[in-house]
Amino acid sequence: MDGVIILAHGSRRQESDIILDSLAKKVTAIAGSQPIVTAFLQFSERSLDKAVESLVKDGVKRITVVPMFLFDGVHVTEDIPEALAAMEAQYPEIAIRMSRHLGDDDRIAQIILDRMHSIQW
């Protein structure tokens, strides 16, 4: 069975948990029965390693980590890959891979345009 972790940076503000959970519910509604969990890289008890542990306990054998980051900074290029390598060493029977970060996807450009036009002067 395959599982997904939607990974956000994290914030000390509780609103970030609410937003990430809402996005995960929307993705789950589209993806179907595939287990999808959320995690934060920093500032939260909902850590990446706890998310991996949860999916492993549920019988997942392949995990895709989707980083919700716009830029390929140090978290995307170093911190997350290093954390995932450590988790693969801890769970050698589990394959863990990171997808591409959000980046400069054309769909994000469309969201920016939508926001630009949402202001009523």
Per-residue pLDDT tens digits of the chain, which is 121 residues long:
999 999 999 998 889 999 999 999 999 999 988 999 999 999 999 999 999 999 999 999 999 999 999 999 999 999 999 999 999 999 999 999 999 999 999 999 999 999 999 999 8
Among 26, 20, 54, 22, which residue's Cα sits nearest to residue 38? 20
> What is the model's pTM?
0.93
The pLDDT value recorded for residue 57 is 97
CB atoms within 10 A of CB 120: 4
Give the torsion sign (CA, 44, 56, 100, 21): negative
